[in-house]
Amino acid sequence: MTQDIGRRSFLKRTGQLGGLVAVGGSIEALLAACGGNVSTGGGTTPTAGATTVASAGLMAPGNLQWGADYVSGAPYVFQDPTNPKNLVGFEVEIAVAMAKLMRINQAQVEVCYANLEQALLGNQVDMVMNGWEKTPDREKTELFSDPYYRYGQQIIVRVDDTRFTGVTPTDVSVLGGYTVGTGSGYLAETLMDDYNATNPPKKINVHAYTGNIAFSDLVQHKVDAFFLDFPIAAYYVLGTGPGAQPIPQLKLLGGTLNKDNYYVGFNKSSPRASILLPEINQAFSILKANGTLYQIYKKWQLWNSDQASIGVTTG
């Protein structure tokens, strides 16, 4: 009898503990699903006498919710290798700087890159800022801010690959006949597919990776080159930014091609977009003029003379 009572009590306690674990797990999952559970730092302490930008276009007043993907997101938005609870990246710093001007909080909302547009159109975020390009398809449903970074596509090859010795690429045709890696859905993939669609004598054999870009494949001669956004090349190959390790076996081939800009995207059908867009543009104007963007790009080794063409100054 005493043993039965002990067993019943044990089972009861186990059930209670299991219930607490289930509830705790549900709450954590709920918070994670809401996004923004990873700190991006940022603050709202205004500098005395500093310009303030309005923030009337936000879904949640006082909170700028911007969509981005931090998984394999370096150097745009990614988890700090020394403290994964925090996000780092040059776009994180831009968001923090914007929020300071607006005297609001900001929170990155984690969305898989492939789903960013649907999240924006579903009004899950105020805006998207994640190496976002203006494309004809996106212009059907989105409004775009002023450009905040001018970038290009970068070719990466092996240092000891003599086939590229003395080659200065001027367009993507230099990759004809080679196997070239890039990210699935990247603009670089589109550029190479468009080139192949012209039926050139030597097509590019495109290898598109989902998620992590396997630069080890280039080191191990499985591909002949990589072709993708310069910021990614700078981080992974040159080793700029926290947690980055340079890859000495690889090098950047020539300058960037197919120059383009990054923009912030807004949901065209949302009435808030027409309010928020000029506010973000005003913030960008200030950050370009006062040297904040210059400092951010310099820190991440992304600064180059192209930025002057979109109004970014040294302050």
Partner 1 sequence: MDFSIIPQALPEFLHGALNTIIYCVVSFPLALLLGLILALMGSSRFIWLRGPARIYIEVIRSTPFIAQIFLIYFGLSTILFNISNHFGSANLAVYVNGWTAGIAALAINYSAYEAEVFRAGFLSVERGQTEAAFSLGLNSQQNFFRIVLPQAVPLMIPPFVNDLIYMLKDSAIVSVIAGLELTAVLDTWRIRHGSDPIPLFILAMVLYLLLSLPTSYFARWYERKLRAAL
Residue ranges in contact with partner 1 by CB under 8 A: 113-114, 116-118, 121, 135, 137-138, 140-142, 181, 184-185, 189-190, 207-212, 214, 216-217, 219-222
Minimum distance of partner 1 from residue 134's CB (angstroms): 13
Nearer to partner 1, 39 or 115 (CB): 115
Under 8 Å between Cβ of 245 and 126: no
For partner 1, the closer of residues 90 and 209 by Cβ is: 209
Residue 138 or 288: the one with the smaller Cβ distance to partner 1 is 138
d(CA 101, CA 47): 9
Distance separating alpha carbons of residues 189 and 7, to the nearest angstrom: 63
Q: Number of helices (H) and strands (E) in the chain: give both, helices first.
A: 9, 11
Shortest distance, position 140 Cβ to partner 1, whole Å: 4
State the minimum distance, in angstroms, from the CB of residue 60 to partner 1: 24
Pick the closest to residue 230 from 269, 262, 200, 274 (CA basis).
262
**3-state helix, strand and coil shares in percent for the chain, rounded to the nearest 5:** 40, 25, 40
Q: Kindly state the smallest distance separating residue 266's Cβ from partner 1, in Å.
A: 14
Q: How far apart are CA 123 and CA 135, in angstroms?
A: 20
86/220 with CB nearer partner 1: 220
Q: 242 in the Ramachandran plot: left (φ > 0), alpha (ψ -120 to 50) or beta?
A: beta
Nearer to partner 1, 208 or 289 (CB): 208
DSSP state of 306: G
Closest distance of CB 110 from partner 1, Å = 17
